[in-house]
Every structure is written in structure tokens, then in C-alpha cells.
Amino acid sequence: MAVNAGARLDRLPLSSFHRRIMWLIGAGMFFDGFDIYLAGIVLGATVKSGFSTLGQNAEFVSTTFVGMMLGSLVTGFLGDRYGRRFSYQANLAIFGCASIAAAFAPSMQILILIQFIIGFGLGAENVVGYSTLTEFVPPQSRGKWLGFMTVFVVTGLPVAALLGRLIIPAVGWRAMFLLGGLGALVVWYLRKKLPESPRWLESIGRAEEAESLLLAIEREVSREHSPLPPPRLAPLAKHSRELASLLSPAILPRLILGSVSLIVINSLLYGFVTWLPTFFVQQGLSIVRSFNYSLVMALGAPLGSAIGAFTADSWGRKPTIIGACLLTIGIGGFYPFIQNPARLMLAGFALIIPIYVLVALLFAIYIPELFPTEVRLRAAGICNTFGRGAVIFTSFLVVALFRSHGVAGVLAFMIALLIIEIAVVLALGVEPKKRRLEEIESASVAATFPAEVRNP
């Protein structure tokens, strides 16, 4: 039974159905971002109060990313095996409950252990959230919608910074974990009505379920847009579900591209952005002034993500990635030499913007598009595993570079990574702009098998 889920979904006009999917996935992604950025906000307070040391803070960050690395890997396999819906509900419950437990941690050692569990849930959410929305949104606006999903995530940064500024000096850092956990569990309840991906259902042979779900979606959309345009049917390219298929000549370069890209952007985020409050405190600023600096700079995060969302479908993925890398290198080159406080905040704000253009392009848009439906979550999970895993070592390297060379040493390392990213995108990158997922998948199959094998 040919359901043609991809063609039927891609021809649907954007409607309240798509907006509901985006808001419910986005709400969970917001608390994912809130909990991730919470580390940078809380650690400045824990080290200032004596609850932790700088070394323990590095261990806290590294442990978070051990959990995120394993969460990314495990959810990739579970999501392709048991479905997108199962995965995004399970991980939200995990990091919500663990965040509440973190608020009552009696010592930094216990908090680090709980943070590992939080990290596991956070790593899973990042993989399954973007990939799920990718499979629902039509190609002509997929970049914009996925980019705006990143706005949900990175809004967690200024919100965490603002709440940290208001709450931590008054009642302490524990309340921040409590807020994040309770919010995640509320979203978990609301998200119970999200549908499974028809593309995934068809890819594993559950055609009747896919057909029934698609009919319900089409009926809902047709109430706003009737008649629906006919689907552009095309032969379906069946991709292998075997793990070995990730090493095929078409998929392996994309896997390398995705892994390198996520290593670079994770290092930028968690080797520089989340360490800013701690850097400021170590340089002699008060905890309140540190939060003020961080809050102003954090406002560039949603702006950068929005720019990435608007440019991905018009400029294309590759040109936007390369342009944002070059801009980050240019601003980062002179940032460490600024002494005036006002100029420092302004330059930091300008530096955050292209970093978060990259966040939108790499995390949300580009990586999920690269892989066929049958292995999308596994491939994205493996890329995220490498990206998160790199931060385990980056955290200790950042501390060493900061102690020996200050912020300039940290930024020099980040610039070197950006140069590598530009080279890899130029060498291995594909351009998915306004192309159907099945069209990109067909190109993968065509590159993997010769014509006489594809068409016997």
C-alpha cells in the first residue's frame, strides 16, 4: 500500500495544524534550552557562594555533556525503532523530573550526578524535536519554521539570565532548577496529543496507520484551505534501515559533515557563551554585574536565530553557514582587547548574533535534512553524540586556556574551529534549500547504488 506520506504532507498549506505542532514541540524545546543555559547562570552563583569550585564547575559541565551524548545516541536508535512520539515524551519526563530533584541536591557531588540524568533527557530532546518538525513542514518554508524552532530554544538563554538576575540573589540558585523542571512536566502533559510522524509510519511499513493519520490531518487542514492541492507523486526511494547504511558513499560524508558541524557549534556555545558569567566573576566583577553583562549579551541569541530562520530559505544553508562563520571570526578577533564596559557589552552582543545564526542553521535546519527518514534520528543522534562528546573535553581545555591566556586564548581556539567548519562545509556540504526530503533521500540512494542496481 503506497501512502505517499511525504508528497501529501508537502502539498499541505501551512495551517493551524502546523502551528500547533510547532508550538507544542517548541515549548518542550524552550525548557530544553532553559535547562542547558541554566548551567552557565547557576555555576557563577555556586562558585561565588562556595558551594562549588571552578574545577567542580568544569566537571558539572562535562558530566552534563556525557549525559547529553548518551541521550543523543540512545534516542536516535529508539526514535527510529519506536517512533518520534515515544521519544520526545520520554526524554521530556526524564529531564523534568531530574531538574526538580536537582533543586534539593545536598552537595555539589550529588548535583553533578543528577545533572548527568538531566543531560540524558536534554540530549534526547534536541535530536527528536528538530527531526520531528522536519517531517511535517513543507519544503518551501521548512528552513524558516525550523529556524524559528531554534528561537524557542535560545529564548531560554535570556529568560534564564533574567530570572537568574532576579531570583538567585534573592532566594538562591535552587529555585532555577525547580522552575525548569515544573515547566517541562507541564509541557509533557500538553504534548500527549501530538501525532506520530506519518513519514516514519510509512517507512517502517505501518501503512494503514499512516493512511488513517494522514486522512485526519488532511481533513483538519482542509477546513482552513479547501480544496487541497494535489500531491506531487514521485517514486519512493527506499533506503536501508541497517546501521551499516550510514557508512555508504552517500551518507558517510554527510555524517562527517554533521558531526564536525555540531562539534564546532557545541564548542562555541559551551566553551564560550555559557562560561561568560564565570569568566566575569573570575575577572573581578560582582555576581550581579556579571548577570547584567550576560543578560545584555544573551539578547543577541533569539535575534541571531531569527536571522538564521529568515535567511535559510532565501540565501540557502551553505552560504548562510559560511557567512556566519566569517562574521564570528571577524568580531571574535578583536573582542578580547576591548576594555570599556559599554563597548564590551556591545561587542559581545554583536558576537552572539552570528553564533546563534549558526545554532539555527546547524542544530535545527541543516543536520535533520541531510538524512533519509529510515535513519534520520540515528544519524542525527550520532552527529549530536560527537558534538556533545567534544564538550566533555572542551570544558577542561577552556579552563586551562582561560587560566593561561584569558578570554583571548579561549576565542583563538574557537576561531580555529570555525575555520575548520568553513572548510568542511565547502568540501562536503549539500544544499537542501526548498527541496523535498524525499528528493534529498533519492539523491542519497542514487549516489549509493549504480543505475543498473536501482533499475534492474
Question: Percent of the chain, pLDDT > 70?
Answer: 89
pTM of the model: 0.81
Q: How far apart are CA 144 and CA 147, in angstroms?
A: 5
Rounded alpha-carbon distances, angstroms, from residue 285 to 176, 242, 295, 309? 22, 54, 14, 35
Cell numbers 525547580: residue? 178
Lowest mean pLDDT among 257-261, 264-268, 285-289: 285-289
pLDDT digits (tens, 9 = 90+) for 219-245: 999 999 888 888 877 666 666 667 777
User: Average pLDDT over the chain, rounded to whole?
Assistant: 85
Cell numbers 488513517: residue? 212
pLDDT of residue 185: 93
Q: Are 252 and 230 in contact (CB under 8 A)?
A: no
- As a whole number of Å, the end-to-end CA separation of the chain is 22
Q: How confident is the model at residue 283 (pLDDT cuts 50, 70, 90)?
A: low
3-state DSSP helix/strand/coil % of the chain, to nearest 5: 80, 0, 20
Q: How far apart are CA 161 and CA 298, in angstroms?
A: 8
pLDDT digits (tens, 9 = 90+) for 323-360: 999 999 998 888 777 777 777 778 888 888 999 999 99
- Cα–Cα nearest to 61, from 79, 42, 76: 42
Question: What does the block give as the cell for 188?
Answer: 509533557
Q: 3-state class of 372 per DSSP?
A: coil
Q: How far apart are CA 399 and CA 403, in angstroms?
A: 6
- Sign of the Cα pseudo-torsion (74, 75, 79, 82, in order): positive
Say which CATH class 5-223+246-448 falls into: mainly alpha
How many CB atoms are located within 10 Å of the residue 233 CB? 12
Q: How confident is the model at residue 449 (pLDDT cuts 50, 70, 90)?
A: very low
Per-residue pLDDT, averaged over 25-52, amounts to 83
pLDDT of residue 324: 95
Q: How far apart are CA 369 and CA 281, in angstroms?
A: 40
pLDDT of residue 447: 47
pLDDT digits (tens, 9 = 90+) for 190-218: 988 889 999 999 988 899 999 999 999 99
Per-residue pLDDT, averaged over 78-102, amounts to 90
